[in-house]
Amino acid sequence: MTNQLQGEILFKGWAGGADAAAWAYTPWMPVRGDVGTFGVEVTYLGGVTLTWNVQTRSLEDPSTITTILAADQTTAAVGPVSATSTVAAKQLVRYRFSTGATASTTDFALLRALQPSWQGDR
């Protein structure tokens, strides 16, 4: 899990501050195995607790989206964090991130979603 998938800066309350569960998403990526380890490299956190998880779906049914980590992952510290999926992935996966509800232009997270490390052959 060393390849950077996407760099992102997310301000606290970026979605207008009304909903703590407002999520930002990476693009959908093809699945390369059944179960994966997913990682995020947090390079800066200022006044933010970053919450993240991973979702999966099939190409045939884009409206049925399943969260594949056992629980939302939270971090309030700089550094790498990872989690292994508890549910087999379908055909596509994406990361989702949240930074909390109170809007701020000075509190933000700087992070990189990393390429998943797949543990089963498709």
- What residue ranges do the domains of the chain occupy? 4-118
Q: Pairing mode, if any, of strands 79-84 and 24-25?
A: unpaired
Which residue numbers in the chain have pLDDT < 50? 1-2, 17
CATH number of 4-118: 2.60.120.680
Position 106 scores a pLDDT of 92
Determine whether 67 is exposed, middle or buried from the number of CB atoms within 10 Å of its CB (0-12, 13-18, 19+): middle
Position 96 scores a pLDDT of 92
What does the radius of gyration of the chain's CA atoms come to, in whole angstroms?
A: 14
User: Tens of pLDDT along 63-84?
Assistant: 999 999 999 999 888 999 999 9
| Helix/strand/coil for 53 | strand
pTM: 0.86
